[in-house]
């Protein structure tokens, strides 16, 4: 009982009591940790975003405030056209991804289509393929002359030229759609999984047939989820750099991201790039807000509580039609491009195919040993992804814990700042970090640390959201039981919260590691000669036409991804990769 404090006599010691109590209140370990977190967040999020705004309003030579950068960014029709192209691209991809994703989600979730698990696996597979790898595959498949589709067409029909050209606007729409449709699928499927079968049965008992029930009951119920996912796809396309660089530039048109990249070519005009990216942030904020509003309409999707029985819709012959559709999508997004990449990786010249004298392992030798720059970038990629994932997971957990448990009065501000990078496309984030930390006093340009902190900022919302929902599922009484048993708050975190959540946190780490190994747009402007990562290297090598070594690198990347995902699935559970949003 010695540690119990003596009673304070109110009359005599109150003023001193208040001061002492205040001081104690502010110097608790929790407060110190929180203060440090706040400083980290200012460094990672607030300052870079402010620097972007400041940069866009600054004359690069004189340092005066000016609107000239905005004039420079939007006065030329070419630049404005890039914006229009991006918006059109986003709209077209959203429509195509919807046409692919929604029917597949419905077929897997609600019907008796055969091989549903396989189809689900296929969709996850296309989710795991980095978009730029898919794009390389499609360049090999759909190039105007040498592409395999055209060569097969010519061989079969005897025509002089093939009809297919991936280097067009609609070619770009197709390639992007094939790798973003899983977003639509995931949102739609999780909404469909929550729709109670009883609602469909209620319609059926009142005389509605299967088709009418699906169109009048089921789809309207998940409409907010579908629209929300289409918004996300639209934003994803707006900020996408890799596929656009690989296909749009050869095709001879610009989109916002390639235009931003152009501002970074000599002479580097960061201030114009900053001004040019402002509307991008604005559109993102508006669409994310709209998506929030739609999904916030509670009660729209009804959870059937205790699960109950779920009866699948009998499709009859039509189930084979659905399966054929799924197989077609799988072939286009995974089967064909991955086959071509695998084939190219083992050949001397990709156009010659699998002839015996064309086979070689030299591409892998070159990637791993022969060309130090490639090996260096492989090492960099995994190195940066490792640190980004680790820092993100720790920070995300700490912030989520503090805000969930309301350990601080301004905890909600912390979480809002943490989520802010959601609304900033990766390529814009790269500009922010370039503006904030490339010049003195930080002078981080060319250091791996700059890429790591940019990745941390980019993926922090994912780590935060994951931790947050994990902590949400943890009853606060578990920690209170530690306190009353004589353990401190820190002890409760160490002995109970972390052990209980370790699988969730590991899942979050693996997820960030995997997406960190493929992140392109954030790394783009921050990579120096010594700090190149695979994704950046891919773009450069594609410009040089080195598709065989490129394919070998892609295979290596996919193998590592596959292993990490397999480990994750084994110990964390199926679909842990889907916990992005």
Residues in contact with another protein by the rule CB under 8 A: 1, 3-8, 10, 14, 17-18, 21, 475, 477-478, 480-488, 491, 495-496, 499-500
Tokens of 547: 């598709």
| CB-based contact 113:326 (threshold 8 Å) | yes
The nearest distance, CB 15 to another protein, in angstroms, is 10
Residue 314 or 412: which CB sits closer to another protein?
412
Q: Rg of the chain over CA atoms, in angstroms?
A: 27
The nearest distance, CB 455 to another protein, in angstroms, is 31
The three-state secondary structure class of 575 is: coil
| Distance from chain centroid for Cα 137 | 21
Measure the CA–CA gap between 19 and 261, rounded to whole angstroms: 56
SS percent in the chain: helix, strand, coil, step 5: 75, 0, 25
The nearest distance, CB 571 to another protein, in angstroms, is 16
Q: Please report, in angstroms and rounded to a whole number, the separation of the first and last CA atoms in the chain.
A: 49
| CB-based contact 86:238 (threshold 8 Å) | yes
Residue 202 or 498: which CB sits closer to another protein?
498
Tokens of 306: 């205790």
* DSSP code per residue over 30-55: HHHHHHHHHHHHIIIIIHHHHHHHHH
Which run of H or of E encompasses 555?
A: helix 547-571
Residue 1 or 296: which CB sits closer to another protein?
1
Tokens of 17: 């009591």
Measure the CA–CA gap between 333 and 178, rounded to whole angstroms: 5
The nearest distance, CB 482 to another protein, in angstroms, is 7
The nearest distance, CB 499 to another protein, in angstroms, is 4
The nearest distance, CB 472 to another protein, in angstroms, is 15
| CB-based contact 260:431 (threshold 8 Å) | yes
Residue 22 or 216: which CB sits closer to another protein?
22
Residue 349 or 478: which CB sits closer to another protein?
478
| CB-based contact 139:557 (threshold 8 Å) | no
Measure the CA–CA gap between 392 and 387, rounded to whole angstroms: 8
Measure the CA–CA gap between 10 and 240, rounded to whole angstroms: 64
For tokens 């580097």, the residue is: 268
Residue 15 or 158: which CB sits closer to another protein?
15
| CB-based contact 313:210 (threshold 8 Å) | yes
The nearest distance, CB 245 to another protein, in angstroms, is 48
Tokens of 232: 């996300």
Measure the CA–CA gap between 49 and 306, rounded to whole angstroms: 45
Residue 354 or 485: which CB sits closer to another protein?
485
Residue 13 or 212: which CB sits closer to another protein?
13
| CB-based contact 187:228 (threshold 8 Å) | yes
Alpha helix ranges (H) inside 331-371: 336-345, 362-365
Nearest alpha-carbon partner for 127 in 148, 100, 89: 100
Residue 209 or 486: which CB sits closer to another protein?
486
Residue 17 or 545: which CB sits closer to another protein?
17
The nearest distance, CB 397 to another protein, in angstroms, is 16
Residue 335 or 487: which CB sits closer to another protein?
487
Measure the CA–CA gap between 473 and 174, rounded to whole angstroms: 40
Tokens of 378: 């492989």
The nearest distance, CB 17 to another protein, in angstroms, is 5
Measure the CA–CA gap between 346 and 352, rounded to whole angstroms: 11
The nearest distance, CB 22 to another protein, in angstroms, is 9
The nearest distance, CB 480 to another protein, in angstroms, is 6
Residue 480 or 543: which CB sits closer to another protein?
480
The nearest distance, CB 303 to another protein, in angstroms, is 21
Is omega for the bond preceding 89 within 30 degrees of 0, making it cis? no
| Distance from chain centroid for Cα 402 | 25
Residue 3 or 265: which CB sits closer to another protein?
3
Sign of CA dihedral 377, 378, 381, 382: negative
The nearest distance, CB 487 to another protein, in angstroms, is 5
């Amino acid at each position: 009982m010695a540690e119990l404090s003596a009673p304070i006599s109110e009359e005599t010691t109150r003023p001193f009591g208040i001061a002492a109590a205040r001081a104690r209140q502010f110097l608790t370990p929790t407060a110190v940790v929180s203060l440090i977190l706040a400083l980290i967040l200012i460094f990672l999020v607030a300052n870079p975003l402010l620097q972007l705004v400041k940069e866009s309003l600054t004359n690069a030579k004189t340092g005066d405030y000016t609107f000239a950068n905005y004039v420079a960014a939007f006065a030329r029709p070419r630049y404005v056209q890039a914006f229009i192209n991006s918006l059109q691209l986003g709209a077209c991809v959203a429509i195509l991804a919807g046409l692919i994703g929604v029917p597949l989600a419905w077929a897997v979730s609600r019907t008796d289509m055969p091989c549903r698990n396989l189809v689900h696996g296929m969709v996850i597979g296309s989710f795991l393929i980095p978009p730029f790898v898919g794009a390389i595959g499609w360049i090999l498949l759909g190039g105007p002359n040498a592409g395999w589709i055209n060569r097969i067409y010519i061989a079969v029909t005897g025509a002089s030229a093939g009809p297919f050209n991936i280097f067009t606007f609609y070619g770009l729409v197709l390639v992007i759609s094939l790798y973003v449709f899983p977003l639509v699928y995931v949102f739609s499927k999780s909404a469909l999984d929550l729709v109670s079968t009883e609602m469909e049965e209620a319609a059926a008992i009142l005389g509605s047939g299967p088709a009418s029930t699906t169109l009048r009951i089921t789809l309207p119920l998940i409409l907010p989820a579908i629209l929300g996912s289409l918004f996300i796809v639209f934003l994803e396309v707006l900020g996408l750099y890799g596929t656009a660089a690989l296909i749009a530039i050869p095709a001879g048109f610009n989109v916002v991201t390639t235009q931003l990249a152009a501002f970074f070519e000599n002479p580097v005009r960061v201030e114009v790039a900053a001004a040019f990216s402002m509307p991008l942030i604005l559109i993102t904020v508006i669409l994310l807000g709209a998506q929030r509003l739609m999904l916030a309409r509670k009660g729209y999707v009804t959870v059937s509580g205790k699960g109950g029985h779920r009866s699948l819709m009998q499709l009859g012959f039509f189930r084979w039609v659905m399966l054929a559709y799924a197989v077609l999508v799988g072939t286009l997004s995974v089967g064909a491009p991955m086959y071509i990449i695998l084939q190219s990786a083992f050949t001397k010249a990709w156009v010659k195919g699998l002839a015996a004298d064309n086979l070689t392992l030299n591409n892998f030798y070159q990637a791993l040993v022969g060309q130090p720059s490639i090996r260096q970038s492989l090492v960099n990629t995994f190195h940066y992804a490792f640190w980004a994932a680790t820092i993100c997971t720790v920070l995300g957990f700490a912030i989520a814990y503090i805000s969930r448990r309301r350990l601080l009065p301004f905890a909600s501000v912390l979480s809002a700042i943490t989520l802010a990078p959601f609304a900033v496309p990766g390529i814009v984030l790269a500009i922010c970090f370039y503006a904030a930390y490339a010049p003195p006093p930080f002078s981080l340009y060319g250091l791996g640390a700059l890429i790591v902190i940019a990745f941390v900022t980019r993926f922090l919302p994912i780590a935060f959201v994951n931790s947050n929902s994990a902590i949400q599922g943890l009853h606060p009484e578990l920690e209170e039981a530690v306190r009353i048993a004589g353990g401190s708050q820190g002890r409760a975190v160490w002995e109970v919260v972390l052990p209980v959540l370790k699988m969730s946190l590991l899942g979050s780490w693996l997820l960030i590691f995997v997406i960190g190994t493929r992140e392109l747009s954030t790394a783009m402007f921050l990579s120096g000669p010594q700090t190149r990562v695979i994704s950046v290297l891919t773009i450069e090598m594609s410009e040089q036409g080195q598709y065989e070594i490129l394919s070998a690198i892609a295979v290596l990347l996919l193998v590592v991804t596959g292993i990490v995902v397999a480990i994750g699935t084994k110990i964390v559970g199926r679909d842990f990769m889907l916990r992005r949003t």
